[in-house]
């Protein structure tokens, strides 16, 4: 009876995490890419979070396979969806990346990730012959990449601290990561699954650190953006004055 209740709660939490919170996490960069689309450039946005999330999702798809970790369909389906979404983000990043060397580097990293996933899948399914051992091998790999995914937005922390601006640290990505970490940590205790609990527990702390950083520099970011707009308006105005002066000068035949 208790076991049945635990499984029911696990399924409810899993569906919530899989179909709502995790999907929100994967879709949270949409405002960032809308901005990139409108400006026609990736500016100072980093591709690291999307590359980290891509490899993380692909590893968890392997973990959720019935022949690796039975009864983990929700893990496999949501991460399969995440894989497709991250490929879309990276494609847009490559399209709007003005730096060809940077774009080539991103493309090479994606290629390395795909080769790595193919090797892991082949080796695990051919050399490891029980679901318990397969779960352990893939689970350890998944833990490492899951932690990397959660920590990837921290790669811009140095930029945030040095510029006192969170403009290039997407808020919704950090918020979604926090909610996702809380839900999946809860899921991992019904019953206990260390391969899900450890990375998502750490991920919750990483995401909380990002949100705190955002709160600290939110006001200064607003001031920096406002100052930049004022400076741009002044420059545009001065250009208009100079051009107008040149026109008047020509009309008067150069006479002051």
Output the pLDDT for position 16: 63
Rounded to 10°, the helix 48-64/73-95 angle is 150
Q: Which of 16-20, 85-89, 235-239 has the highest mean pLDDT?
A: 85-89
Q: Give 27-64 as a DSSP string.
A: HTTHHHHHHHHHHTS-TT--SHHHHHHHHHHHHHHHHH
The phi-psi region of residue 206 (left if phi > 0; otherwise alpha if psi is between -120 and 50; otherwise beta) is alpha
pTM for this prediction: 0.73
| Average pLDDT over all residues of the chain | 82
Residue 206 near residue 177 (C-beta atoms within 8 A): yes
Share of the chain above pLDDT 90, in %: 28
pLDDT at 2: 61
Q: Which two tokens stand for residue 156?
A: 């811009």
Quick one: pLDDT at residue 89?
94
* 23 — pLDDT class (breaks 50, 70, 90): confident
| pLDDT band (50, 70, 90) for residue 10 | low
Model confidence at 128: pLDDT above 80: yes
**How much is the pLDDT for 129?**
86
Tokens of 212: 């705190």
Asked if omega into 191 is within 30° of 0 (cis), the reply is yes
Sketch the domain layout of the chain as residue ranges. Answer: 1-228
Structure confidence at residue 17 (pLDDT) = 59
Which phi and psi (to 5°) does residue 189 adopt? -95, 10
Contact indicator for 62, 33 with CB cutoff of 8 Å:
no
Beta carbons within 10 angstroms of residue 122's beta carbon: 10
Torsion over CA: 204, 206, 207, 212 (sign): positive
**Pick the residue with more confidence: 123 or 239?**
123
pLDDT confidence of residue 86: 95
Instruction: Answer whether residue 250 shows pLDDT above 60.
Output: no
Reference 168, options 149, 154, 151; nearest CA is 154
How far apart are alpha carbons 207 and 212 in whole angstroms?
Answer: 9
Q: What is the tens place of the pLDDT at every residue in 75-105? A: 888 899 999 999 999 999 999 998 889 999 9
85 Cβ contact partners less than 8 Å away, ≥ 6 residues apart: 26, 27
Residue with tokens 């899921």: 187
Confidence of residue 11 (pLDDT cuts 50, 70, 90): low
Alpha-carbon distance 104 to 110, whole Å? 10
Helix and strand numbers (H, E) in the chain are: 10, 0
Average pLDDT rounded to a whole number, residues 123-143: 91
Q: Is residue 247 very low, low, confident or very high in pLDDT (cuts 50, 70, 90)?
A: low
**Contacts for 162 with CB less than 8 Å, ≥ 6 apart:** none
- CA terminus-to-terminus distance, the chain: 97
pLDDT at 49: 86
CB neighbours of 51 closer than 8 A, spacing ≥ 6?
90, 106, 109, 110, 113, 152
Higher pLDDT, 210 or 246: 210
Q: Nearest 5°: phi and psi at 192?
A: -65, 125
Q: What is the pLDDT of residues 146-187, one digit of tens each?
A: 888 887 777 677 778 888 888 778 788 888 888 888 888 887
Q: How many CB atoms lie within 10 A of CB 216?
A: 13
Phi then psi for 165, rounded to 5 degrees? -140, 135
């Amino acid at each position: 009876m208790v076991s049945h209740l635990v499984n029911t709660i696990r399924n409810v939490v899993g569906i919530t995490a899989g179909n709502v919170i995790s999907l929100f996490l994967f879709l949270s960069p949409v405002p960032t890419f809308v901005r990139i689309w409108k400006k026609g450039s990736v500016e100072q946005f980093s591709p690291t979070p999307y590359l980290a999330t891509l490899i993380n999702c692909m590893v968890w798809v392997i973990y959720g396979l019935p022949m690796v970790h039975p009864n983990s369909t929700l893990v496999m389906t949501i991460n399969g969806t995440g894989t497709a979404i991250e490929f879309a983000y990276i494609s847009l990043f490559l399209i709007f990346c003005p730096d060809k060397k940077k774009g080539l580097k991103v493309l090479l990293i994606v290629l390395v990730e795909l080769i790595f996933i193919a090797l892991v899948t082949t080796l695990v399914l051919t050399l490891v012959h029980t679901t318990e051992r397969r779960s352990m091998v893939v689970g350890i790999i998944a833990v490492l990449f899951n932690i990397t995914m959660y920590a990837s937005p921290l790669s811009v922390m140095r930029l945030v601290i040095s510029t006192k601006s969170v403009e290039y640290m997407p808020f919704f990505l950090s918020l979604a990561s926090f909610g996702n970490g809380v839900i999946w940590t809860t899921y991992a205790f019904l019953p206990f699954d260390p391969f899900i609990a450890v990375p998502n527990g750490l991920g919750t702390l990483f995401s909380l650190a990002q949100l705190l950083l955002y709160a600290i520099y939110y006001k200064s970011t607003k001031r920096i953006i406002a100052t930049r707009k004022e400076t741009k308006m002044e420059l545009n105005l001065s250009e208009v004055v100079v051009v107008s002066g040149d026109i008047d000068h020509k009309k008067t035949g150069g006479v002051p």
